Amino acid sequence: AQSVTQPDIHITVSEGASLELRCNYSYGATPYLFWYVQSPGQGLQLLLKYFSGDTLVQGIKGFEAEFKRSQSSFNLRKPSVHWSDAAEYFCAVGASGGSYIPTFGRGTSLIVHP
């Protein structure tokens, strides 16, 4: 069975600073990987996904993530954080041969200081 670890419960950054949110997964085959963002009062929104191909994936809102098979990681990055990026971020892994239903990590809360 697949699993996801997001080791950081909270991350605090200053507006304009760079951001990296960590995600490690466990899955026997090539996984499908996702990053979602959850803002208060809104549903989870897909930021980006990785299925195959180029290991550096570009997403919406200026986010990107890099799949590193050797490290079983799929870290999310953004070069310059905006105050509106403050939210909860979830990494998820889906079974490549299955129903695509993702297993979510526990989330990382991003706090942005002005």
Partner 1 sequence: GAVVSQHPSWVICKSGTSVKIECRSLDFQATTMFWYRQFPKQSLMLMATSNEGSKATYEQGVEKDKFLINHASLTLSTLTVTSAHPEDSSFYICSARGEREYEQYFGPGTRLTVT
Q: Is the dihedral of CA 24, 31, 51, 89 positive or negative?
A: negative
Interaction of residue 41 with partner 1, rule CB under 8 A:
yes
Which residue, 15 or 51, has its beta carbon nearer to partner 1? 51
What does the alpha-carbon distance between residue 2 and residue 27 come to, in Å, rounded to a whole number?
5
What DSSP designation does 107 have? -
Rounded least distance, CB 105 to partner 1, Å = 6
Q: Is the dihedral of CA 26, 93, 61, 6 positive or negative?
A: negative
Which residue, 74 or 90, has its beta carbon nearer to partner 1? 90
Tell which one of 14, 29, 43, 52 touches partner 1 (CB under 8 A): 43
What is the binding site for partner 1 (CB under 8 A)? 4, 9, 32, 36, 41-46, 49, 51, 90, 94, 99-107, 109
